[in-house]
A and B are shown apart, each in its own frame.
Chain A
């Protein structure tokens, strides 16, 4: 197409100016890519952090009112309600576990007894949230054994694992005994087998792990469990899976998304901010293209006039300017995508002094296809105004100037 080679010639006729214009477009596209990759990266990291160290679906007994009526062993339960001493529990947990095992989407299952207790060391008393689990499945939900900083993760019959801050507060170290007092008023001397550090203050200060066998007499639960924690192969499907389990078992099933509703809100707000920045970077790119082409169309009035006098069609003239916009958009967007990817990849390798990555940026999530298409399309639209004004030029006026 001849208009294309004219457009190319026009762009190459002033390499410095064209280079500057293309750099401007590329920078705008890089800003778009950067913000997209950063926001995607943040979302991925936050989601990963949450899903890596916590259950994806938690199963608990339903509220009592809901449970009493349909329960097959209604007699036992109705007496149980009367006793405030009786905890809510899942009695038929082994059938639930069997059901979970048969589901291929489930990657880990952890039946637990969760409860509250106090650790007493001399004068010092500290409340703890107790998670009692099968020692063989210690790492099923979060990798506790990798977070042990002192002692080891072997629980045994009288062992307890506590967080590093709790250990500090009570002046405890691995191997030392500590008095364990449950909210049922049962006391037992346990040995601190290991001290873990997750980096999360609330966990390191408040959580303790026991073997489920040790916990049964302490929490007066000879058979049942209080909750079953489940991990899925694909955490994104937790909501559906929770609904399915609730339906299938009558238990209360909570997905990690439901537990972290504020996280979802934060991610949505973040995405909105990102969209705003994306829109502004695109608009500035398009304004740049439109104004550069308007200047060029104005500078070339005489030439356009003579072309029109020679009978070159308005469409041809318009095409020359629209194609300039298209070329600038495509080249600028390509360079911007390459540059943006390089920038994001470089930023992703940057580490803080402690070795963790400084920016949670996801170089592969820069929205490259979207920004390329939007910039190219936008560039064409931005060139329509200068193209029309060039095409509408009265040849006589332009020549006589």
Chain B
């Protein structure tokens, strides 16, 4: 089976006027199907930047990315959007649910928007996912009436809606208390174990990292312990 993610020689240099900030200096990262990888590193080491690049939200200055066997460099803006929609899932530190929609509608949204509406099939898949994340009694609640932990669980369900190859999570437990963080982490582990969904979770939290199947640490713009490919 081929790698879910094969990123090679990723370099990222931000330019602010005359000032150049080289954040990534040749990152190589390969994720196999079913991995639950923690992305670690000091604050400012470029974790979020790498996640955005892998998530096709940011174009790197250098390097190639293959996701699920497909080269993504040549994709147009629209194709990148479609690729994100169909192949990737996102979980952010702040859930960013749509406040005017119910939990079910939020979960179904990534499928509904390109299809032009929520079909009964989408609705039932969204409900299954909500049952799975333990929100069977909150399915028709407006997003604004959920607790922080519940919102983050809805966000996880949403990330899984289109059966992505790779879920990218940026500090998913960062704004939750211990108990809620634990639930969210357990949930991701469970999905990973049962569905073989690959996760790349960016975190500061040793406790989170300890429960992942793999640790990737960014240091000085490279993945620690891995030699940069030329």
Chain A contact residues, CB within 8 Å of chain B = 1-2, 5, 9-10, 12-13, 302-303, 305-314, 316, 395-396, 399-400
Contact = CB atoms under 8 A, between A and B. Distances in A.
A311 B100 contact: no
B99 interface: yes
A399 B78 contact: no
A303 B92 contact: no
Given A2-B116, A5-B117, A310 B85 contact: yes
Given A2-B112, A2-B115, A2-B118, A313 B81 contact: yes
A75 B58 CA distance: 104
Interface string B74-87: 00001001111110
Contacts of B90: 306, 309-310
A66 to B, nearest CB: 77
B110 interface: yes
Interface of B: 48, 52, 55, 57-58, 78, 81-86, 88, 90, 92, 94, 96, 98-101, 109-110, 112-118, 158
Majority secondary structure, A binding face: helix
Given A306-B96, A312-B85, A313-B81, 8 more contacts: A13-B100, A302-B96, A306-B90, A310-B110, A311-B81, A313-B78, A395-B57, A396-B52
Nearest to A394: B57
Contacts, number: 72
A309 to B, nearest CB: 5
A313 B92 contact: no
A311 B109 CA distance: 10
A374 B112 CA distance: 33
B117 A311 contact: no
Given A309-B55, A311-B81, A399 B115 contact: no
Contact of B99 (A13, A314, A395, A400): A13
Given A312-B81, A395-B57, A396-B58, A303 B99 contact: yes
17 contacts: A1-B117, A13-B100, A306-B96, A307-B113, A309-B84, A310-B109, A310-B158, A311-B82, A311-B85, A311-B114, A312-B85, A312-B113, A313-B78, A313-B81, A313-B113, A313-B114, A395-B57
B96 A303 contact: yes
Nearest to A12: B100
B114 A305 contact: no
A396 B116 CA distance: 24
A314 B81 CA distance: 9
A295 to B, nearest CB: 16
A316 B100 contact: no
Contacts of A311: 81-86, 88, 110, 114
B84 A310 contact: yes
Contacts of B55: 309
Contacts of B86: 311
Contacts of B58: 396
Contacts of A396: 52, 57-58
A12 B114 CA distance: 23
Nearest to A395: B57
Contacts of A305: 96
Contacts of B48: 400
Contacts of B113: 2, 307, 310, 312-313, 316
B19 to A, nearest CB: 19
Nearest to B161: A310
A309 B57 contact: yes
Between A13, A302, A303, A310, the greatest number of chain B beta carbons within 10 A of the residue's beta carbon is seen for A310
Contacts of A306: 90, 92, 96, 98
Contacts of B109: 307, 310, 312
Nearest to A14: B100
A399 B117 CA distance: 24
A253 B78 CA distance: 72
Contacts of B84: 309-311
A125 B117 CA distance: 90
B116 A308 contact: no
